[in-house]
A = this chain, B = another copy of it.
Amino acid sequence: MIDGAMQPFALTLDKFLAHAAKWRPDAGVATARDDGRVEKIGYGELMARSRRVSAVLAGLGVSLGDKVATLAWNTQAHVEAWFAVMGMGSVCHTLNPRLTPEHLGAMAARSGARVLIFSADLADLARRIAQLVPQEVRLLAIDGPALEGAEALEPLIADAPDGFAWGEFPETAPCGLCFTSGTTGAPKGVTYTHRASYLHTLRALQADSMAITGADTVLAVVPMFHANAWGLPFATPAAGANLVLPGRNADGASLARLIRAEGVTIAVGVPTVWLGLLEHLEAEGGEVPSLKRIVVGGAPMPPALMERLERRLGVIVQTSWGMTELSPSGTVASAHDPVRSAGLSGRPAVGVDLMVADAEGRPLAQQRNIEGHLHVRGAAVVERYFGEAEPATNAEGWFATGDLARIDEAGNLAITGRAKDLIKSGGEWINPAEIEAVVSALPEVSLAAVIGRQDPKWGERPILLVELREPGASDAALLAPLEGKVASWWIPDEVVRLDAMPLAATGKIDKLRLRAEFGGVAT
């Protein structure tokens, strides 16, 4: 007797927009413009426009597997470009406008993209990238008019035919390409696939994760040009939720106005963004009553900020952990967890598995309540970087994240540092993250970083680099709080005051640059 069968159903990302267009045609995407206007489009019309963009790209010779680069802010036109590129089976290579032209040119040269869709206000950078790559690049401007050497996409959309057919390629086909920020090494390309990003999206819809529903309006402050904006442009149509995009303005006043105007219920971004919102509301007054939850990630969450947000705004703050290589979400703390804390990033959902190992990648005998090198495995985790022949995973399929972490008894993840940041002094390890956490908590400190400086006697010794809110704090005042909190030999040998801490393009402290400048033997 032959077995029966279930229907074929390819896990491709175009399904999300098709679902929203059919079942939530009135929900859609709202984009904040620089002049304060908010532009809106329903999912039905957005899909129709996006299919026309596919037709435009096909007309330019783009086909299955080809890379199309984008260099753009979070706007409707960027979302349309994403679905257009991915829906036709091409690969969206997102470029981060905060990187240098040289870095971006090197990335675009590697991807081989022959079309670059860019925000009109980034025209200079776009043209520079096009000059730096060996291939000929067609420039298409969005969110603005045609420019020298670049057509505007909008008139092409108007002329394009309707109903370009999406899908019809294997679910394992690549859909996206994003290079890591490279704060601790050379940027590596992560190739996202339809299947991986589809399964990653379903995680965002789970009640224990971001729990996005059709009743929600989600503000995505996390950029589409890095790590898929945490998958929100996929998860919102999949849930039938509204997506609110801030354009390039993420200051507190702009966000407060946008949250109120659109009735945002869930807001997603790095901690500093919400500090800006809080300080704006505290200075100017006003409320954001529609807001129920804030999802943070991408950097350590200061406990005091979490408490202030929850108390002042009446929201639940959900911490999270992820990285470019994870599509990018690893864990999200559940809003249903009665014991939430700024230092914990939640328990993994099914489809994500975590393990702590020693420096050689051997699993620790104890997996709970002990610090180790964090490894991850799962459906939306990198196996092999772009252009590499060798896997990025070990023989058991684990990917070494480079993070140090501790997992508590209940399975919650606490990131405790970066393995590459560790300082080896006299044969023993010093964890800069623990020192930084103490110094960063001082009111006079704006940003703090600890790096190892070469030392003839100890191999390496820690030094502290600080950007102060106002000058005046003595070395002793900055270091004294460390006593009793870290071992005495962990206390930095020197304090260096910087006018401005160097930041990488994703907003993280650029330790590569700090090490280059300050890591040599003291003279």
Contact = CB atoms under 8 A, between A and B. Distances in A.
A124 interface: no
A6 B382 contact: yes
A500 interface: no
B385 A4 contact: yes
A2 interface: yes
A123 to B, nearest CB: 27
Interface string A316-331: 0000000000010000
A279 to B, nearest CB: 31
A381 interface: yes
Q: What class of interface size applies to chain A in its complex with B?
A: 35 or more
A86 interface: no
Contact of A379 (B6, B383, B386): B6
Contact of A383 (B8, B192, B238, B393): B8
A6 B383 contact: yes
Contacts of A386: 1-4
Interface stretch (A17-25, A161-169, A425-433): A17-25
A20 to B, nearest CB: 8
Contact of A206 (B6, B11, B206, B388): B206
Interface string A176-212: 0100000000000111110110010010011110011
A54 interface: no
B4 A214 contact: no
Nearest to A348: B23
Contacts of A1: 110-112, 386-387
A488 interface: no
B6 A350 contact: no
A337 interface: yes
Interface string A264-283: 00000000000000000000
A510 interface: no
Contact of A7 (B177, B208, B399, B411): B399
A66 B347 CA distance: 36
A357 to B, nearest CB: 15
Copies in the complex: 2
Contacts of A516: none
A272 to B, nearest CB: 27
A389 interface: yes
A105 interface: no
B411 A3 contact: no
A4 B382 contact: yes
A90 B132 CA distance: 57
A11 B172 CA distance: 14
A262 interface: no
A6 B352 CA distance: 13
A457 B237 CA distance: 54
A23 B327 CA distance: 22
A251 interface: no
Interface string A235-269: 00011100000000000000000000000000000
A213 interface: yes
A383 to B, nearest CB: 4
Interface of A: 1-9, 11, 15-16, 19, 22-24, 65, 91, 110-112, 174, 177, 189-193, 195-196, 199, 202, 205-208, 211-215, 238-240, 327, 334, 336-338, 347-348, 350-351, 353, 377-389, 393, 397, 399, 411
9 contacts: A3-B191, A5-B191, A6-B381, A7-B382, A22-B411, A206-B207, A206-B239, A214-B347, A240-B347
Given A205-B206, A206-B206, A208-B239, 7 more contacts: A2-B389, A4-B174, A4-B190, A4-B191, A7-B393, A9-B378, A23-B348
